[in-house]
């Protein structure tokens, strides 16, 4: 019952729950890693695409010199509004934009960054081509994708737990989209099709996802991502039940108190 269209719906209460629960759970550690990778480069203009609620934007604004301008974009206006509401400690330009058709002139940026957004693009090679177009010669495209769901323990546990609730049509958003673009050879082919002729630098980075209780990752995934859309499409009245079940299974596997699970991603740096 899930579809690529519903996978991109980050509306209603999802942006706020995403920011409150999912960002500290899985996105913050990689945001810090992203900013550190850019901090050693000589930059004047940075473009972020699929900025979400701004976790990377905030870190870039803290780490990069204040004379480096940052433009943060997202196709989804509610997510971008949430990012602007949280804000940054120095000015950032927030702008709605489609990664398939960026509203910027050629060669305008020294770096284009995208943390865990590429998986949602309908044409990866087209998005890579657009990123390359707006990069100056010698600029870098820095982006990350999640590894397969089995390497990301809470996401895998939540997905598996929901099979018991919806055995005939289990929600597969997490496996299908966030964790569905992990094949390194496939990503490199898309980069090449997008005009990046030199092989990218690729690193697989494992980190830890921690929370004060099993309910936090269950709530984060079931109610703070488009997985919620899939659950409610099957039976709107069972969202709470699905969240409770996921929390119980996480507690069973990781303990009843604070929980700690593995997360793993691939980080690409492609030079123009």
The helix (H) or strand (E) run that includes residue 219 is helix 215-223
Instruction: Report the C-alpha gap between 183 and 163 in whole angstroms.
Output: 25
Residue 13 pLDDT class (50, 70, 90 cuts): confident
Q: Is pLDDT larger for residue 66 or for residue 5?
A: 66
Residue 15 pLDDT class (50, 70, 90 cuts): confident
Could you say which DSSP state residue 272 is in?
-
Residue 7 pLDDT class (50, 70, 90 cuts): very low
Tokens 């209780």 found at: 213
- 8 A C-beta contact, residue 99 and residue 8: no
Residue 254 pLDDT class (50, 70, 90 cuts): very high
Give tens-digit pLDDT for 198-207: 999 999 999 9
Residue 14 pLDDT class (50, 70, 90 cuts): confident
Q: What angle do CA 73, 77, 83 make, to 5 degrees?
A: 65
Give tens-digit pLDDT for 153-192: 999 999 999 999 999 999 999 999 999 999 999 999 999 9
Q: Quick one: 140 exposed, middle or buried, by C-beta within 10 A (0-12, 13-18, 19+)?
A: buried
Tokens 């309908």 found at: 122
Question: Residue 267 phi/psi, 5° resolution?
Answer: -115, 125
Give tens-digit pLDDT for 103-158: 999 999 999 999 999 999 999 999 999 999 999 999 999 999 999 999 999 999 99
Helix boundaries (H) for 40-172: 55-63, 77-86, 124-134, 153-165
Give tens-digit pLDDT for 42-91: 999 999 999 999 999 999 999 999 999 999 999 999 999 999 999 998 99
Determine the pLDDT at residue 5.
Answer: 55
Q: pTM score, two decimals? A: 0.93
**Other CB atoms within 10 Å distance of the CB of residue 235:** 12
* In the chain, domain spans: 6-271
Domain 6-271 bears CATH identifier 3.40.50.150: yes
């Amino acid at each position: 019952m899930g579809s690529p269209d519903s996978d991109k719906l980050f509306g209603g209460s999802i942006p706020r729950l995403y920011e409150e629960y999912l960002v500290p759970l899985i996105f913050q550690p990689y945001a810090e890693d992203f900013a550190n990778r850019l901090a050693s480069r000589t930059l004047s203009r940075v473009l972020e695409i699929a900025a979400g609620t701004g976790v990377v934007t905030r870190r870039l604004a803290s780490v990069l010199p204040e004379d480096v301008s940052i433009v943060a974009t997202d196709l989804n206006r509610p997510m971008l509004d949430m990012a602007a509401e949280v804000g940054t400690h120095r000015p950032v330009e927030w702008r709605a934009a489609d990664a398939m058709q960026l509203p910027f002139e050629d060669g305008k940026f020294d770096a284009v960054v995208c943390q865990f957004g590429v998986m949602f693009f309908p044409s990866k090679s087209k998005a890579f081509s657009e990123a390359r177009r707006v990069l100056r010669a010698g600029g870098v495209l820095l982006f990350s994708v999640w590894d397969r769901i089995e390497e990301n323990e809470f996401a895998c546990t939540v997905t598996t737990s929901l099979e018991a609730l919806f055995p005939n049509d289990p929600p597969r958003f997490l496996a299908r989209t966030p964790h569905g673009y992990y094949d390194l050879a496939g990503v490199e082919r898309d980069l090449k099709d997008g005009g990046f002729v030199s092989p990218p630098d690729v690193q697989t980075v494992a980190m830890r996802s921690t929370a004060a209780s099993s309910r936090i990752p269950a709530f984060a995934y079931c109610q703070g991502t488009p997985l919620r859309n899939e659950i409610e499409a099957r039976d709107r009245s069972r969202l709470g039940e699905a969240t409770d079940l996921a929390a119980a299974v996480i507690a069973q596997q990781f303990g009843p108190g604070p929980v700690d699970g593995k997360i793993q991603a691939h980080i690409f740096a492609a030079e123009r």
